[in-house]
Each structure stands twice: as structure tokens, then as C-alpha cells.
Structure 1
Amino acid sequence: MSESVSVRCPACRREHLYTAPAYPCVCGAPVAPPLDPHGTVTAVTHRAWDDEWLGVRCAACGRETQWPRPELGCPCGTMLRVPVARAAATGEPRRQAPAARPAFQPIAIRTARDAVTAAAVYLRRLGYRDIRRADQRPPTGIGIAAHGLLAQVDPTVRPATLRDVECLWLTAMTESAACVYFSLAGYAPDARTRADTLGVPLFVLDLTGAPQPVNDPAHELDATGAR
């Protein structure tokens, strides 16, 4: 069960009860970051990718993956970063046989960061590892990468274009990686046609955070996962 801590906003001094969100590990077990009830709450004044993620180890299978750092929005307008405890080493973790792929637990999308988080959690469910920010910034949206995969997340309100799909595919080709596109607003007709030709999986992220495959390569990826 996710733990809860009392969080006081340093700007307005309001106190909140914060519960750490739990995300599904690829083994099926829920994983939540360990909160530090004695740590210092800080206000988020700027964003840096390295500060957005932290490694959390699954107690069931011992796998460590990257999860978004816990944050809480105060009604005064301040975004609060909740302190995380450093997990103590307790010897070899308990191992168990891999479970069937768990049902995807969507993350409601309110911001561009939510869209990236939803895509990252979905890719982890498919079996991709070491998800991180892509080395090259795409012309639109946000690029994330995993071992052997390059993904683009487009949180804008315009459909992805033919050029968007081709740029993603070309960048992936130079890195000898597969690629996948996530869009909030869908795709232009010629972009979908070109993606089918190139074998690029296309997903639409609805506001609940559930990726919906919209072409055959996406349906195949959703069914088979990472290879």
C-alpha cells in the first residue's frame, strides 16, 4: 500500500496529506517511491530532466526502474516536490517467477509532463528498460528513449504531421533503433499513410492517459511488447 506523509507548503504554510502514487512494475507488483516524513519539502521553480525521475526498486522482483518524482500542487499555485527517502539495502530481494503482463493503469493527462509519464509507464509495461530523455530533441513534442527504442510524445493540440513521423523514423534509423509515436491530437491522413509504409507504430493518448493503437504496427506492438 502507498504511504502518506504530511506536506507543508513553504509559500502559504498550508498543510496537505500526500499519498505516494503506485505504478505497476513489469512483474505486475505495485511500486511506489519511499517517502521521507522528515525531509524538506521544496518548491519547484524550474524543470530539469535529471530532477524529474528517480530509481525505485520493486520489492517483489528486485527490478529497479525510473519513476517520476513525487509532486503535489498546492492551491496557492506552488508546485511542491515531496522528499523521498533513500531506500536501505536489505540483502537480496525476494524473487518470483515473472507474472503475466499486468493491465495498464492509465495516468490522467493534465500537462505535457503527464503525457510523457503516461507514455513511459506504458512502454515499461511493454517490457522496455532504462527509459530516459532522448539525446536528440525532436522538432515537436518530447523525445524519450529506451534500450533499442526511440519514442516521441506530442502533447500539442494539433495532429502530428507527415514531417513529424518521417523525422522520428529517420532519427531512429540513425540510432539503429525502433520507434513509436504518441500523440494527444491524432495524426494527419498523410502521416498515418506514411507511418504504415515505414512501419511506425502510432498511438493516440486520450485524456485518461490510455494509449490507443491507431495502425497495424501499433496493434502488433501492443500485443507482443518489447522483443
Structure 2
Amino acid sequence: MPETVPVRCPACRREHVYAAPSYPCACGAPLAPPLDRRAAPVPVAHRVWDEDWITVRCASCGRRDQWPRPELGCPCGTVLRIAVTNTPPQGTTRDAHPAPARPPFEPVAIRTARDAVTDAALYLRWLGCEDIRRADQRPPSGIGLAARGLLAQVDPAARPASLRDVECLWLTAMTDSAACAYFSLTGYADDARACADALGIPLFVLDLTGAARPVNGPAEELHAARA
């Protein structure tokens, strides 16, 4: 059962019960951020990338990774940041045997642009990418993510990604001597897909469940190599 804590919205005083999300660690063990029952939730006024992620240690294998900071959206419109502790999650021990196979990717539902970025980052981590962070250079559209040896673009726009979008990502990745991948919520223009196929750029479409669907050959190869 996921850990739950009572949460009261400081804006409208509504009472909620928040359940901590669970994500698969690279070792296969379920991992959830440890919630702090004593600390009050904090309304989110401004987004800062570094504050949207926390470091959580897996009690099964000891690995430390960054995961989305727990948040709750109140019906009044207030977004609440749920406090966490610095202790490892309960229910597993460091001596436990890790799962022998990679677990399936577990997305989070997409309701906002931030959710799309979170899902893309989680998917990249599931693929085995390390040191995922906000890219230093902002792309012409969407949000850039950087990992070790990889540059990714997440495009939550309500239009298909264009040829220029794909070309700009490729040129930026070439400058950094990195591979690249593109995530879109609404697909790709025909010439953008043709360009990506020619350059070997993996293209993914994020559906509203958060699942990342490969839509060209390079993306299918990347997914199959890690599945």
C-alpha cells in the first residue's frame, strides 16, 4: 500500500489524503519518496527546476536518484508541495535481492506541461540515462533536458513538431557531441519525421497517460534495447 498523509490546503482549508507515488528503481524495487507527516504543505508560487526534484535513496540497492517532488493539486487551484524526510523508504532492506529483469515503465498521467517533462525524464531514466537535468540551452520551443551523452526536447505544444524543431535539436546536440531524442504530445509533421529518420533521431509521442510511444525506427530500436 502506498504511504498516505493528511493534507489541508492553506488557501481554501479543504482536507485531502495524499498518496505517495511509487516509481521503479533501476534495480527493480519499488521506490516512493518518504513523506513527512509533521511538516505542512507549501503552496507553489513559482517554478524552479531544481526545487521540482528530490534525491531519494533506494533501501534495496542503495542507489540515489532524483525523482519528482511530491505535489498535490487542490480543486481551488492551489498546487501544494508535500514535505518529505531524508530517511529511505520503508518496506525494503538494503540486503534484499534486486529484481532480475527491468520493470515496465510506469508513467504518471499528463495534465500539465510539467507532467510531460516529468514523464520524459522518468522515461529517459528508465532507458538507463544518468544525471538528468534541465538543459543549459533553451530550445526554440518546449523544454530541454540533458543527460550524460544525450540531449532531449519535450514539446507540450498543441501542434505537431516542425522540421525546424527537429533540426534545431540535432544541431544543438551536434555542438555538444551528444545524441538526441524528441518527445511531443501531438506528433510530428511529415517532413520532421523524414528528417529524423534520415538523421537517426528517436521520436516519441507522449499520450495523456504519460506513456512514451516510439513513432520511428530509431525510437523503436532505443526502446527495444532497454525493455
How big is each residue's C-alpha offset from its partner over 1:72-121, in whole Å with a ceiling of 9 and x where there is no partner?
11122111111111226xxx933645631111112111110111111111
2:30 pairs with 1:5? no
2:51 aligned partner, one-letter code: D
Aligned AA (1:210): A
* Higher alpha-carbon deviation: 92-101 or 59-68: 92-101
Q: Name the residue aligned to 2:24.
A: 24
User: TM-score under structure 1 normalisation?
Assistant: 0.94
Q: For the residues of structure 1 that align with 2:95 and 2:144, how far apart are their CA atoms? A: 34
1:164 Cα deviation after fit: 0.5
Q: CA deviation at 1:182?
A: 0.4
Percentage identity across paired residues of the two chains: 70
- CA offsets per residue over residues 187-221 of structure 1, 9 Å max, x none? 00000011011110001111111111111100110
Specify the SS of the correspondent of 2:46.
coil
Deviation at 1:126, TM superposition (A): 0.9
2:51 maps to 1:51: yes
Match of 2:215 in 1: 214
1:129 matched to which residue of 2? 130
Q: 1:97 to 1:71 in 2, by over 3 A?
A: closer
- Give distance in 2, aligned partners of 1:64 and 1:114: 22
Name the residue aligned to 2:115.
Answer: 114
1:54-84 Cα shifts (integer Å, max 9, x gaps): 0111121111111111111112211111111
Q: 1:103 to 1:13 in 2, by over 3 A?
A: same
Give me the whole-angstrom Cα distance separating, in 2, the residues matched to 1:191 and 1:38: 50
Q: Which moved more, 1:153-162 or 1:94-103?
A: 94-103
Q: Alpha-carbon deviation of 1:23?
A: 1.0
The answer for the alignment partner of 1:93 in structure 2 is 94
- Change beyond 3 A, Cα 1:97–1:87: closer
Unaligned 5+ runs, structure 1 = none
Cα distance between partner residues in 2 of 1:197 and 1:77: 44
2:29–2:99 CA contact under 8 A, matched in 1: no
In structure 2, what residue type is equivalent to 1:185?
T
**Residue number in structure 1 paired with 2:178:** 177
Q: Which whole-Å CA distance do the structure 2 matches of 1:224 and 1:165 have between them?
A: 23
* Aligned residue runs from structure 1 range 131-210, under 5 A: 131-210=132-211
1:146-197 per-residue CA deviation (whole Å, 9 max, x = no partner) reads 1111110001110001111111111111111110000011000000011011
Partner secondary structure for residue 102 of structure 2:
coil
What is the total number of aligned residue pairs between the two structures?
225
**Residue type of the partner of 1:221?**
L
Structure 1 counterpart of 2:220, which letter? H
TM-aligned CA distance change 1:41 to 1:102, over 3 Å: same
- Name the CA distance, whole Å, in 1 between partners of 2:174 and 2:57: 32
Contact conserved, 1:110 with 1:207, CA < 8 A, in 2? Answer: yes
Aligned-partner Cα distance in 2 for 1:174–1:98? 38
